[in-house]
Amino acid sequence: MPDAWMLLAGAVLLLLLAWVAWTLVRLSRLEARVARAWTVLDTQLQRRAGLAEELARHYPGALGDQRAGALAAVAAAARAPADGDREVAENALGRELRDLPSDLSGVPVALQTDLAGTTTRVGLARRFYNDAVRDTRALRRQRLPRLLRLHARRPLPRYFDIDDRLEQVAGAGRAGHRSAVR
């Protein structure tokens, strides 16, 4: 019965090929999604740093000179992180922005709402980026893609972890366990 075996082997091979092609489509789609999400996150982070710089440069009176100096320094560091660790630099900027006095009299309302809106969008963009990274890693880690070395030469995308207090901007508990503590 060699014919039957050949047929079976052929069918299996065909199925495997189909699966590989399908998985490659998924992987490249995920790669594009990660890239898109990163573009958005990067844009929002740059924007946040820009607005913080503007605030520090033009309205030192509202912040106090010392705070304005600190804010300008962390904003500059976030734009061009010295040791290349962007997460640390962005965290420092985020912390400085959260510690701003709640009463920013003298600062135009437009700038304040812009800053608040950008902070929210940083939180959203980061979550969506990490979502895309998680989906990619889940597929890359599956047994068959690993065995067949699909996309194995490309770097595994990294999570971007900063403390953006998303539970505040996104309205509710960050994780299930957090809400249980309530």
Partner 1 sequence: MRIGLVCPYQWDVPGGVQYHVRDLAETLRGMGHHVEILTPAVREESLPPDATFAGRTVPVPYNGSMASMQFGPVSAARVRRWLREGNFDVVHVHEPASPSVSLLVCMIAKGPIVATFHAATTRSKWLAAVGPMARPWLERISGRIAVSDFARRVQVEHLDGDAVIIPNGVHVEAFTHGPSLPGFARGRDGPTIGFLGRYDEPRKGLPVLLEAMRTVVRQHPGARLLIAGRGDAADLRELVGDDLRPHVTLLGELSEPDKAAFLRSVDVYCAPNLLGESFGVVLIEALAAGAPIVASDLDAFARVLEDGAAGVLVRRGDPGALGRALCALLADPDRRAELSEGGPRAAAAYDWAVLARRILAVYETVVPPDGTVVTAGEDDDFPAVPPARRQARTSPRRWAPR
Residues lying near partner 1 in the complex (CB under 8 A) are found at: 17-22, 25-26, 29-30, 33, 36-37, 39-40, 43-44, 117, 120-121, 124-125, 127-128, 130-132, 134-135, 138-139, 166, 170-173, 176, 179
Tokens describing residue 75 = 């904003």
Angle, in degrees to the nearest 10, between helices 65-79 and 2-58 = 150
Return the closest-CA partner of residue 25 out of 145, 114, 172, 156: 145
Is 71 or 151 the residue whose CB approaches partner 1 more closely?
151
The dihedral built from the CA positions of residue 53, 58, 62 and 63, taken in this order, carries a sign that is positive
Is 94 or 123 the residue whose CB approaches partner 1 more closely?
123
The minimum distance between CB 161 and partner 1, in angstroms, equals 13
Return the closest-CA partner of residue 174 out of 161, 96, 24, 49: 161
The minimum distance between CB 166 and partner 1, in angstroms, equals 8
The minimum distance between CB 44 and partner 1, in angstroms, equals 8
Is 8 or 138 the residue whose CB approaches partner 1 more closely?
138
Cα–Cα separations (whole angstroms), residue 126 to 2, 4, 34, 38, 116: 56, 53, 11, 8, 16
CA distance 74 to 116: 18
Is 40 or 76 the residue whose CB approaches partner 1 more closely?
40
The minimum distance between CB 73 and partner 1, in angstroms, equals 28
